[in-house]
Amino acid sequence: MSLDVLTFLFVGGSFALYIAIAIWARAGSTKEFYVAGGGVPPIANGMATAADWMSAASFISLAGLVSFIGRDGSAYLMGWTGGYVLLALLLAPYLRKFGKFTVPDFIGDRYYSTTARTIAVVCTIVISFTYVAGQMRGVGIVFSRYLHVDINTGVIIGMAIVFFYAVLGGMKGITYTQVAQYVVLILAFTVPAFFLSSQVTGHILPQLGLGATLDSGMSVLATLDKLSMELGFAQYTAGTKSTLDIFCLTVALMCGTAGLPHVIVRFFTVPRVKDARISAGYALVFIALLYTAVPGVAGFGRVNLIQTLNGADNTGTAYTEMPSWFKNWEETGLLGWQDRNGDGKVQYAAGKAFDGKGKPNFIEGRGVNGERLTDNALTDPSFDAAKQPFANEVYVDRDIMVLANPDIAQLPNWVIALVAAGAVAAALSTAAGLLLVISTAVSHDMMKKTINPNLTDKQELMYARLAAIVAIIIAGYFGINPPGFVAQVVALAFGLACASVFPAIIMGIFWKRHNSAGAISGMLIGLVSTMAYMYYFAFAGGTPAEYFMGISPGGFGTVGAILHIVVGVVVSLATAEPPQEIQDIVEDLRIPRGAGSAHAH
Amino acid sequence: MSISNEQAQAYWRENLRIIVTHLVIWFAVSYGCAILFVDQLNEIPFFGFPLGFWFGQQGSIFVFVILIWTYVYSMNKLDEKYDVHE
């Protein structure tokens, strides 16, 4: 069967499955809509959490990122898994015992303050929207590459599917579709990883394959180091960032992960405190299945990419002989080539091939070899001959690595179709979880708890669905018109979660003395300092030379969190201790028994 | 609450001890082995990996998984000891 037919079958078949599950799991009450009635079995919750968490960023972007930055990629691998240890040990059991629906619920009640609740609502909405925009872009990329529709149509199809099961089913529908999506995405990631690993190294497991020795007698990593150095890149197994910067980035990603509202809310859906701990354990097992395969996929992909582009003799491959994937990705605009030395061959090395940010700016028309023309090609063929054999002529977007890997390795068509279905599953499952958090923040935390406490359950449910519809439309808009600063915005989501949400929850559980004045001032200082720092370096012309102690904006959430804690403690100690009933609540949430009755599913 | 105040305090103290023990290991493998001492550990070869690089990209993730499950096991035992399980 042709690739198009197979892709259509895999993606279409998975959509039919998600819709069937959504119809089966319609929500009838707010409790079902917000937390699936609180009766999800831990293993199902673990899978749902894994699918909720592993977004287009984990599925599509992470391996590409590690592939291009080597050892510094460890910060992301550890940050996005180590956060679950914090979740399991410090947050999930206590928040489950607390037994409400949302993060602002906890912060508002624990700090007996509408102001605190409102700050938490703002953080929740900002974090979730920035995240969801990236998911819609992921769906668009897959549709445009594999189903030959344009990106906008792809985004609209994705919106329609999410609309169907998020609005109808609420958390209950989302949970069980996420279980199905987890199965699709983990197969889609690991099957090509097994193929790649056995093809390159003879080991089926990429976790072992990355340490294997190749026919040349060198290990995979040593080969990568050698290839990278020859082409002028940094050594693959060496870091380029300062130790402090990597340290702060890892902390920000870990604490940010543990403070993301759409992840935390998953632990409200299980019946008992014990189940909250167990489902965190399952979640990390399911996540680790993908994350431990990532470094292998990244490494093998890099070797394959360099060898395909530069050819066996390492002098370049003629454009006219390039495999079809190269030209297919060129059509999507995520890959570009210009013949700087006029030999008709593609050559890949360190350095920019295009002016400005290094990305090709395509214009109408074709060059002599049939390549797409750009108006920002660098014409100066000069390069440092001492460092690398030739000047770089190629732009490769990091985001195409996972999707292009099976093409580059010439795997069977059904594997490529599976990868397409998996990427869509990863993006949709995360988008649905985020949309639910946004709609809950609006209907529950704003409408019910802040504006009109007399709402009936039915009215609240209606507001939740309305908010979900509005959120889907806004998310779709960002998918079609992606802001040019997606990377900074995602860093902002983690920074905010790390500097404002995470410390407020931890101190609320572990420090009985913490009061509303301390929490509010802490959250505000964390929020404002992190946003200001990121804004300054993303939009106000800040340069890396001005970084505070060399800490890049992605790691500044760590500094924000420290400020939060210091200011919070000082203000708290200078003001009256919290009322007795609040201290009793804290005592109570430390004891597991009595977490509230659950729904049977 | 079905248990006495003193018992609740004792339960909480043991709970904190379990958390701290696990977080020390969590910190040692990730921030210790893969960030602070990565260059020293990279001198040691480990199944084809430099050891520090292995901790950063593989080892720490395996340890994280094990940590959550030993935590679950210890807490289940603790809950039963103080009779606060459900």
pLDDT (tens digit, 9 = 90+) per residue, A107-153?
999 999 999 999 999 999 988 888 887 777 777 777 777 777 777 88
**In the predicted model, is pLDDT for residue B20 greater than 90?**
yes
pLDDT band at A245 (very low <50, low <70, confident <90, very high): very high
Quote ipTM for the complex.
0.96
Q: Measured between alpha carbons, how far is residue A592 from residues A47, A280, A589, B21 in Å?
A: 23, 16, 7, 20
pLDDT at A596: 60
Question: A49, A74, A274: which to substitute to probe chain B, counting the most B Cβ within 10 Å?
Answer: A74
| Distance of residue B4 Cα from the nearest chain A Cα, in angstroms | 11
Instruction: Find the mean pLDDT for residues B4-22.
Output: 93
CB contact under 8 A, B1 and A593: yes
Bridge partner list, A389: none
Region of residue A356 (left: phi > 0; alpha: psi -120 to 50; beta: else): left
Chain A interface includes B64 (CB < 8 A):
yes
Q: Tell me the chain A residues in contact with residue B74 when contact means C-beta distances shorter than 8 Å.
A: none
C-alpha closest to that of A358 among A100, A68, A584: A68
Residue A27, helix vs strand vs coil: coil
pLDDT band at A40 (very low <50, low <70, confident <90, very high): confident
Q: Tell me the chain A residues in contact with residue B36 when contact means C-beta distances shorter than 8 Å.
A: 243, 247
Rounded to whole angstroms, how far apart are CA atoms A188 and A550?
Answer: 39
CB contact under 8 A, B65 and A281: yes
Rounded to whole angstroms, how far apart are CA atoms A108 and A94?
Answer: 16
pLDDT band at A486 (very low <50, low <70, confident <90, very high): low
> Which structural domains are found in chain A, ordered by start?
3-300+412-487 (1.10.4160.10), 335-396 (no CATH)
The segment with the largest mean pLDDT, out of A90-99, A216-225, A444-453, A565-574, is A565-574
Instruction: Find the mean pLDDT for residues A473-492.
Output: 74
CB-based contact A122:A532 (threshold 8 Å): no
**Which of A146-155, A471-480, A511-520, A558-567 has the lowest average pLDDT?**
A146-155
- Choose the closest CB to B58 out of A71, A85, A207: A207
Count contacts between A and B (CB, < 8 Å).
133
Q: Tell me the chain A residues in contact with residue B6 when contact means C-beta distances shorter than 8 Å.
A: none
Share of chain A above pLDDT 90, in %: 43
Residue A56: exposure state from Cβ atoms within 10 A (0-12, 13-18, ≥19): buried
pLDDT tens-digit series, residues A46-61: 999 999 999 888 888 8
Q: Tell me the chain A residues in contact with residue B49 when contact means C-beta distances shorter than 8 Å.
A: 210-211, 221
CB contact under 8 A, A591 and B56: no
Q: Within 10 A of A106 (CB to CB), how many other CB atoms are there?
A: 27
pLDDT band at A300 (very low <50, low <70, confident <90, very high): very high
So where are chain B's domains? Answer: 5-81
DSSP letter for each residue of A378-409: -------TTT-SS---EEE-GGGHHHHHHHHT
Give the amino acid at A244: L
Rounded to whole angstroms, how far apart are CA atoms B76 and B86?
Answer: 10
Instruction: Find the mean pLDDT for residues A360-381.
Output: 85
At residue A189, what are phi and psi to the nearest 5 degrees? -90, -40
CB-based contact A591:B84 (threshold 8 Å): yes
Widest Cα–Cα separation across chain A: 79
Instruction: Find the mean pLDDT for residues A59-72.
Output: 90
Rounded to whole angstroms, how far apart are CA atoms A555 and B25?
Answer: 22
Rounded to whole angstroms, how far apart are CA atoms A372 and A349?
Answer: 20
Rounded to whole angstroms, how far apart are CA atoms B27 and A82?
Answer: 9
- Choose the closest CB to B60 out of A82, A89, A294: A82
Q: Tell me the chain B residues in contact with residue A93 when contact means C-beta distances shorter than 8 Å.
A: 75
Strands A362-366 and A345-346: unpaired
Q: Which residue in A has a C-alpha nearest to residue B68's C-alpha? A: A281
CB contact under 8 A, B75 and A93: yes
- Choose the closest CB to A243 out of B3, B19, B36: B36
Question: B35, B41, B79, B81: which to substitute to probe chain A, counting the most A Cβ within 10 Å?
Answer: B35
pLDDT at A384: 62
**Which of A88-97, A320-329, A592-601 has the lowest average pLDDT?**
A592-601
C-alpha closest to that of A268 among A593, A32, A22: A32
CB-based contact A145:A154 (threshold 8 Å): no
DSSP letter for each residue of A217-282: SSBHHHHHHHHHHHTTPPPTTS--S-HHHHHHHHHHHHHHHHT-HHHHGGGGSSSSHHHHHHHHHH
Rounded to whole angstroms, how far apart are CA atoms A501 and A119?
Answer: 9
Share of chain A above pLDDT 70, in %: 96
Helix (H) or strand (E) holding B50: strand B49-50
- Choose the closest CB to A277 out of B30, B38, B71: B71
Q: Tell me the chain B residues in contact with residue A587 when contact means C-beta distances shorter than 8 Å.
A: 8
pLDDT at A601: 45
CB contact under 8 A, B48 and A246: no
**In the predicted model, is pLDDT for residue A599 greater than 50?**
no
CB contact under 8 A, A89 and B46: no
Bridge partner list, B46: B49
Instruction: Find the mean pLDDT for residues A208-218.
Output: 87
pLDDT at A382: 60
Instruction: Find the mean pLDDT for residues A230-253.
Output: 92
pLDDT at A484: 59
At residue A364, what are phi and psi to the nearest 5 degrees? -65, 150
Signed CA dihedral, B35, B40, B43, B46: sign only = negative
- For residue A221, give every residue at least 6 positions away whose Cβ sits within 8 Å of its Cβ, in sequence order, or none: A210, A211, A236, A237, A299, B48, B49, B50, B53
CB contact under 8 A, A592 and B86: yes
DSSP B45: E
Rounded to whole angstroms, how far apart are CA atoms A55 and A428?
Answer: 8
**In the predicted model, is pLDDT for residue B27 greater than 60?**
yes
pLDDT band at A567 (very low <50, low <70, confident <90, very high): very high
Task: State CA A81 to chain mean position distance.
Answer: 12
Region of residue A594 (left: phi > 0; alpha: psi -120 to 50; beta: else): left
Rounded to whole angstroms, how far apart are CA atoms B2 and A322?
Answer: 73
- For residue A558, give every residue at least 6 positions away whose Cβ sits within 8 Å of its Cβ, in sequence order, or none: A247, A248, A249, A251, A252, A255, A498, A551
C-alpha closest to that of A85 among A253, A269, A245, A206: A253
Chain A interface includes B10 (CB < 8 A):
no
Helix (H) or strand (E) holding B49: strand B49-50
Give the amino acid at A576: A
DSSP letter for each residue of A188-218: HHHHHHHHHHHHHHS-S-HHHHTTPBPTTSS
Mean of all residue pLDDT scores within chain A: 88
Residue A78 tokens read as 């550890």
Instruction: Find the mean pLDDT for residues A60-74.
Output: 90
C-alpha closest to that of A595 among A34, A91, A38, A99: A99
Q: Within 10 A of A273 (CB to CB), how many other CB atoms are there?
A: 28
pLDDT at A56: 83
Q: Which residue in B has a C-alpha nearest to residue A82's C-alpha? A: B64
Q: Which residue in A has a C-alpha nearest to residue B46's C-alpha? A: A211
pLDDT at A511: 95
CB contact under 8 A, B3 and A207: no
**Which of A141-155, A231-245, A423-437, A531-545 has the lowest average pLDDT?**
A141-155
Output A520 or A461, whichever has higher pLDDT: A520
CB-based contact A449:A108 (threshold 8 Å): yes
**In the predicted model, is pLDDT for residue B59 greater than 90?**
yes
**In the predicted model, is pLDDT for residue A532 greater than 90?**
yes
Instruction: Find the mean pLDDT for residues A576-596.
Output: 88
| Distance of residue B43 Cα from the nearest chain A Cα, in angstroms | 11
Number of H helices, E strands in chain A: 25, 6
CB contact under 8 A, B1 and A591: yes
Q: Tell me the chain B residues in contact with residue A506 when contact means C-beta distances shorter than 8 Å.
A: none
Rounded to whole angstroms, how far apart are CA atoms A33 and A102?
Answer: 12
Rounded to whole angstroms, how far apart are CA atoms B57 and B52?
Answer: 9
Residue A108, helix vs strand vs coil: helix
Taking the CA of residue B16 as centre, how many other CA atoms within 13 Å lie in the half-sphere pointing to its CB?
9
What's the 3-state SS for A312-376? CCCCCEEHHHCCHHHHHHHHHCCEEECCCCCCCEECCCCCCCECCCCCCCEEEEECCCCCEEECC
**In the predicted model, is pLDDT for residue A283 greater than 90?**
yes
Could you identify the residue written with the tokens 């629906």? A101
pLDDT at A500: 94
| Distance of residue B40 Cα from the nearest chain A Cα, in angstroms | 12
